């Protein structure tokens, strides 16, 4: 197929790379978001998708508002594309654009539709504690992820999976499912299936407020927030912002098959259920693991942190470096 690829973040890169190396597809052009200022020097940095396109010598189009950009619209019309492939592009396509390619616009979406339509499906599925998610390919329409579904691929989520882990897994899964989808479209083997709108849920954009840890919530809820919004969840320790990037709700480990690095942890938890404190209080330290915080319901073991202006480190190194003591507290409000 002749393909115009639309995508911007790292999640879209795997699909683009797999399309590039397949012999039976031709990438006519790559459409991605304009370069943005990033980092301390405020340098203009190209999107991850643009960086891959540059390395492979592909034509790159970067309209700031694709619905209003007549030059890009004409290029798309002139492309004679069989299909537009869209993976986390970041702009809404007009009905005029959607109608251009022969086989329509195929989107790779990071959830099992109609659940988690919207901008951040991977993050919110983790936040909600889902035990399964996946990828859906669909034919796009003018709605927000409301188009007819083509293929689905499922994957389980365990309690140790964070946003970064799941994004990488789903990016690979999505790339493979997209290739299968294109093959079956070309052979006329797919029948689009309408979504059941009554079962739809929405994954809204994440705001800065979502990163603040509320220690009055349960240990499991806070853990899901930490891994869902990795690596951005934050609290206050001794007046400074402290990011919490890895945790484990101790009330859940009896039901878990622990990874090798946690095999010895139960040996340190004898009598743990008899310990309690105020919400946000550090009630115990565990050698080589980290520190335990009292939540609104249950105890949360903190395993990895990053103090403002410092590097990411294990919670045990943090304990030693700050001389943290049992009885200190973490505060919900952040600056």
138: domain CATH number?
3.40.50.170
CA distance 53 to 78: 20
Confidence (pLDDT) at 271: 86
Claim to verify: residue 112 and residue 236 sit in the same structural domain: no
Claim to verify: residue 12 and residue 105 sit in the same structural domain: yes
The structural domain count of the chain equals: 2
Q: What is the pTM of this model?
A: 0.94
Claim to verify: residue 75 and residue 218 sit in the same structural domain: no
Confidence (pLDDT) at 167: 98
Q: In which residue are the tokens 């002139």 written? A: 78
Confidence (pLDDT) at 258: 86
Claim to verify: residue 143 and residue 231 sit in the same structural domain: no
pLDDT tens, 102-143? 999 999 999 999 999 999 999 999 999 999 999 999 999 999
The answer to the question of whether 111 is labelled as a binding residue is: yes
pLDDT tens, 208-225? 999 999 999 999 999 999
Confidence (pLDDT) at 254: 81
Confidence (pLDDT) at 110: 98
**Residue after which a domain boundary falls, among 203, 220, 237:** 203
Is residue 334's pLDDT more than 90?
no
Claim to verify: residue 317 and residue 181 sit in the same structural domain: no
Is residue 255's pLDDT more than 90?
no
Claim to verify: residue 165 and residue 212 sit in the same structural domain: no
Claim to verify: residue 244 and residue 164 sit in the same structural domain: no
Is residue 273's pLDDT more than 90?
no
Percentage above 70 pLDDT, the chain: 99
Claim to verify: residue 187 and residue 298 sit in the same structural domain: no
Average pLDDT over residues 248-254: 90
Claim to verify: residue 85 and residue 14 sit in the same structural domain: yes
Confidence (pLDDT) at 134: 98
Is residue 9's pLDDT more than 90?
yes
CA distance 322 to 95: 57
Is residue 335's pLDDT more than 60?
no
250: domain CATH number?
3.10.25.10
Torsional class of 71: left (φ above 0), alpha (ψ -120 to 50), beta (otherwise):
alpha
**Residue after which a domain boundary falls, among 157, 176, 203:** 203
Candidates 240, 216, 215; CA nearest to 302 is: 215
Confidence (pLDDT) at 156: 96
Q: What is the mean pLDDT of the chain?
A: 95
Q: Which CA distances in Å does 146 have to 4, 128, 142, 194, 264?
A: 21, 21, 8, 8, 47
Is residue 22's pLDDT more than 60?
yes
Average pLDDT over residues 252-261: 85
Phi, psi torsion values for 91, nearest 5 degrees? -135, 150
The answer to the question of whether 16 is labelled as a binding residue is: no
Claim to verify: residue 197 and residue 214 sit in the same structural domain: no
The answer to the question of whether 112 is labelled as a binding residue is: yes
pLDDT tens, 25-76? 999 999 999 999 876 677 889 999 999 999 999 999 999 999 999 999 999 9
Residue 251's domain comprises 208-331
CA 14, 101, 106, 97 torsion-angle sign: positive
Claim to verify: residue 38 and residue 167 sit in the same structural domain: yes
Q: What HEC string does the chain produce? A: CEEEEEECCHHHHHHHHHHHHCCCCEEEEEECCCCEEECCCCEEECCHHHHHHHHCCCCEECCCCCCCCHHHHHHHHHCCCCEEEEECCCCCCCHHHHCCCCCCEEEEECCCCCCCEECCHHHHHHHCCCCEEEEEEEECCCCCCCCCEEEEEEEECCCCCCHHHHHHHHHHHHHHHHHHHHHHHHCCCCCCECCCHHHCCEECCCCHHHHECCCCCEHHHHHHHHHHCCCCCEEEECCEEEEEEEEEEHHHHHHCCCCHHHCCHHHHCCCHHHCCCCCCEEEEEECCCEEEEECCECEEEEEEEEECCCCCEEHHHHHHHHCCCCCCEEECCCC
pLDDT tens, 222-238? 999 999 999 999 999 99
Confidence (pLDDT) at 27: 97
Confidence (pLDDT) at 256: 82
Claim to verify: residue 240 and residue 314 sit in the same structural domain: yes
**Residue after which a domain boundary falls, among 170, 203, 236:** 203
Of 42-56, 193-207, 235-249, 259-273, where does mean pLDDT reach its minimum? 259-273
pLDDT tens, 299-329? 999 999 999 999 999 999 999 999 999 999 9
């Amino acid at each position: 197929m002749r393909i115009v690829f639309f995508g911007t973040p790292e999640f879209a890169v795997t699909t683009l790379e797999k399309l590039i190396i397949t012999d039976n597809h031709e990438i006519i052009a790559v459409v991605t978001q304009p370069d943005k200022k990033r980092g301390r020097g405020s340098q203009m940095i190209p999107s991850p998708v643009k960086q891959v396109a540059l390395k492979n010598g592909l034509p790159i189009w970067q309209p700031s508002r694709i619905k209003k950009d007549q030059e890009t619209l004409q290029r798309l019309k002139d492309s004679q594309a069989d299909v537009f492939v869209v993976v986390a592009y970041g702009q809404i396509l007009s009905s005029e654009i959607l109608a251009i390619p022969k086989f329509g616009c195929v989107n790779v979406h990071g959830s099992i539709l109609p659940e988690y339509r919207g901008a951040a499906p991977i993050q919110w599925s983790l936040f909600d504690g889902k035990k399964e998610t996946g990828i859906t390919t669909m034919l796009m329409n003018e709605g927000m992820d409301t188009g007819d579904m083509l293929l689905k691929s499922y994957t389980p989520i365990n309690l140790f999976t964070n946003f970064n882990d799941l994004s990488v897994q789903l990016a690979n899964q999505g790339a493979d499912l997209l290739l299968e989808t294109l093959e079956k479209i070309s052979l006329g083997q797919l029948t689009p299936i309408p979504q059941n709108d009554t079962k739809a849920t929405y994954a809204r954009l994440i705001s800065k407020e979502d990163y603040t840890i509320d220690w009055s919530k349960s240990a499991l809820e806070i853990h899901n927030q930490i891994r869902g919004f990795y690596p951005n969840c934050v609290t206050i320790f001794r007046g400074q912002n402290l990011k919490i990037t890895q945790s484990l709700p101790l009330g859940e480990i009896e039901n878990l098959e622990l990874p090798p690095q946690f095999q010895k942890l139960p040996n340190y938890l004898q009598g743990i259920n008899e310990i309690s404190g105020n919400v946000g209080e550090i009630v115990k330290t565990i050698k080589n693991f980290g520190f335990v915080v009292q939540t609104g319901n249950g105890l949360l073991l903190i395993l990895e942190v990053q103090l403002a202006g410092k590097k990411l480190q294990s919670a045990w190194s943090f304990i030693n470096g700050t001389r943290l003591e049992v009885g200190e507290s973490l505060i919900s409000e952040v600056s």
